[in-house]
Amino acid sequence: MPFVSLSTGLFVLAVLAVFQLSPPRLRAVVLLVASYAFYLAWSPQGAIWLLAVSAVAYLAALAVERPRAGARQALVALSAVACLLTVLLGFKLADALRAHLGAGGGKTGGDGLVAALLPLGMSYYVFKLVGYLLDVYWGRRPAVHSFAALALYASFFPQIVAGPIERPDDFFAQVERLELDPEGIAAGLRRILFGFFKKFAIADRLAVLVGAAHADPATHSALELFIAADLFALQMYADFSGFTDIAIGLGQLFGVKGPENFQLPFFARSLPEFWRRWHMSLTSWLTDYLFTPLRMALRDFGQAGLALAILVNMLAIGVWHGLSLTYAAFGLFNGLALAASALTLSRRTAFYRTRPRLSKVRAVLAPVVTFHLFAASLILFRANSMASALGYFAHLVPARGAVPAFRHDWGQLGGLAPRSLLVILLTAVVMEAIHWARGEPRAVERFLTLPRALRWGAYYAAVIATLALGEVGAHAFIYAQF
Amino acid sequence: MTHDEVKAQLTEVFRQVFDQPTLALEDATTAKDVEGWDSLTHINLIVAAEKAFRTRFTTREVQALANVGDFIRLIQKRCG
């Protein structure tokens, strides 16, 4: 069943009712049955893969933990990790080939592209299980002795479609004591409402404009393409953070709060800082399980080892989205920029330390430059092929006789009049203000202690804004395809 | 080496790597408590500690560390 649909809404209500009526020891079982029911409704074949990889991780972790495993620990752990990653890569490769043969080098998933073979959420649950296995192997945590508990970790339905990738320690600590928490439910519902607002009132409105620019860059001016590239970064942010809000909110209904994925990324003052604030559950996972081991292995090679580890890590982030040249180029673009930033960090710090005035200018400009670097890399991410991406980049340079920079024909920009674009940008400012307030405990407390009429007024305003401004149901979540 | 001896020498390593001459370490100190201790500088710290204590850590040992206390105990185990 689609993640945002009436049937999913009714399903969640039914599961919540059963969950509330169940005795504490059965609540995890209710969530496991519900998670598999949700998955089976989507794809019975996919459920077999989910079960199979969960079983591999479960058995391998128990074997690794056995006291007599000795030298075989590494063999068992690494073989199981290789097995899980091979399954994931196999599906990604099959999808890449299918897209290449069927759509002229395009991508799978998304609006109007080739349907994916990759089972729903496999990129997320395989990473969860690989992380769990490596944690047991490294001695960070004990193996889970209940298969049902591990199966629930992999299949937990609020997180199955597009994460966030929750770490095993955090998940099992919460699942051990699933309590009925009215405040958690209220917080979850607020979070879900905010997620829908971001998705429908901001992301999907921007999708129209960005889609028009990418569909035919040649008919757009350089300025329009520049604006569309910036707006796609905003669209991605609203779309994916909106999805994360819905996923975290759904989890909160059942007493499981997933990890945050975003922390005001557009305020980051450098690309390394940006990547610590964007899709955090994936980037922190890759830092722990790929970058750090790789950096350890390459530590004798000095700065070259650091640069290589960064490049491989960012390439992995790129191709995690799919095995296509554009995703690989997206990863490499960010990898090169990150490596350059890391290698020059100490010199730049020393340079600005003695120049306080310049340092102040830098503090203002750095987030702007960081944002545009990321937005430029997203042109590669968004394009259906390298040829399209290069075409877009080529038209970003103003040329003589090209489309005029300022026009009255807003039809070329996906039918969005300047006034409606202004409305979207204002809603984006509201979104970011709420993101900021969410990180301030006093602001949250102040909101929750407002008179009931004011709080409910805010909720109704969010619902009305979502319905009035939104393109409800028109576009799938971008990250649900990975 | 005693726990305190390792801690004193490790504190010097931290001060040099993070360029913070007054940095003080506790057993419970983690990356969140030290400005500049992130994924990019983490291995610089490990390499500096390897040099200072003339030892070599495995990836598995490094990945199992949860805080400075764990790090001190690992160094003690390695250096006797």
Report long-range pairs for A139-147 (Cβ below 8 Å, ≥24 apart): A139/B60, A139/B64, A140/A169, A140/B63, A140/B64, A140/B66, A141/A168, A141/A169, A142/A65, A143/A61, A143/A62, A143/A64, A143/A65, A144/A58, A144/A61, A144/A168, A144/A172, A145/A62, A147/A54, A147/A55, A147/A58
Spell out which residues of chain A touch residue B59, defining contact as CB-CB under 8 Å. 292-293, 296-297
Average pLDDT across chain A, whole number: 88
Query: What is the span of the domain harbouring residue A193?
Result: 185-481
Q: A77 vs chain B: nearest CA distance in angstroms?
A: 12
Domain match, A108 and A213 both: no
Identify the pLDDT of residue A112.
Answer: 45
What is the DSSP-derived secondary structure letter of residue A287?
A: I
Farthest CA pair distance, chain B:
31
| DSSP collapsed to 3 states, chain B | CCHHHHHHHHHHHHHHHHCCCCCCCCCCCCHHHCCCCCHHHHHHHHHHHHHHHCCCCCHHHHHCCCCHHHHHHHHHHHHC
Domain co-membership, A250 together with A234 = yes
A16 with A130, same domain?
yes
Q: How far is A69 from chain B (nearest CA, A)?
A: 16
Do A80 and A209 have their domain in common? no
A137 and A195 share one domain? no
Mapping DSSP to helix (H, G, I), strand (E, B) and coil, where does residue A108 land?
strand
- Segment B46-59 shows an average pLDDT of 94
Any domain includes A381: yes
Write out A179-246 in H/E/C secondary structure: CCCHHHHHHHHHHHHHHHHHHHHHHHHHHHHHHHHHHCHHHCCHHHHHHHHHHHHHHHHHHHHHHHHH
A297 touches chain B (CB under 8 A): yes
Instruction: Say if residue A382 is in the same domain as residue A469.
Output: yes
pLDDT of residue A402: 61
Share of chain B above pLDDT 90, in %: 76
**Count of domains forming chain A:** 2
What contacts A170, CB < 8 A, 6 or more positions away? Answer: A259
With a cut of 50, list the residues of chain A below it in pLDDT.
104-105, 110-114, 408
Pick B39's closest partner by Cβ from A134, A137, A291.
Answer: A291
Type of residue numbered A98: R
Using a CB–CB cutoff of 8 Å, tell me whether B8 touches chain A: no
Does residue A361 share a domain with residue A254? yes
Cα A302 to chain centroid distance, Å, stands at 32
B64 and A297 within 8 Å at the Cβ level: the answer is no
* Residue carrying structure tokens 């709420």: A434
Residue A194 lies in a domain: yes
Sorted by where each begins, the domain ranges of chain B are 3-79
B66 touches chain A (CB under 8 A): yes
- Find tokens 């479960």 and name the residue: A58
The torsion angles phi and psi of A219, rounded to 5 degrees, stand at -90, 5
How far is the alpha carbon of B44 from chain A, nearest alpha carbon, in Å? 8
ipTM of the assembly?
0.88
Per-window interface: A 179-208 vs B, CB < 8 A: none
Residue A284 lies in a domain: yes
- Residue A474's pLDDT is 60
Residue A142 forms contact with B (CB below 8 Å): no
Examine the domain organization and report whether A381 and A270 are in the same domain.
yes
Residue B22 CB neighbours (<10 A)? 5
Q: Domain boundary residue among A125, A150, A181?
A: A181
**E strand segments, A291-349:** none
Whether residues B60 and A137 touch (CB distance < 8 A) is answered with yes
Contact B40 A140 (CB under 8 A): no
What's the confidence (pLDDT) of residue B74?
Answer: 95
Amino acid at A408: H
The pLDDT of residue A252: 96
Is residue A1 one of the residues assigned to a domain? no
Chain B contact for A343 (CB, 8 A cutoff): no
Asked whether residue A60 is assigned to any structural domain, the reply reads: yes
* A204/A169 same-domain check: no
Q: Do A172 and A189 fall within a single domain? A: no
Predicted pLDDT of residue A103:
53
A83 and A222 in a single domain? The answer is no
Q: Does any domain span residue A434?
A: yes
Tell whether A202 and A159 lie within a shared domain.
Answer: no
- B64 and A292 in contact by Cβ < 8 A? no
Does domain B3-79 fall under CATH 3.30.1380.20? My reply is no
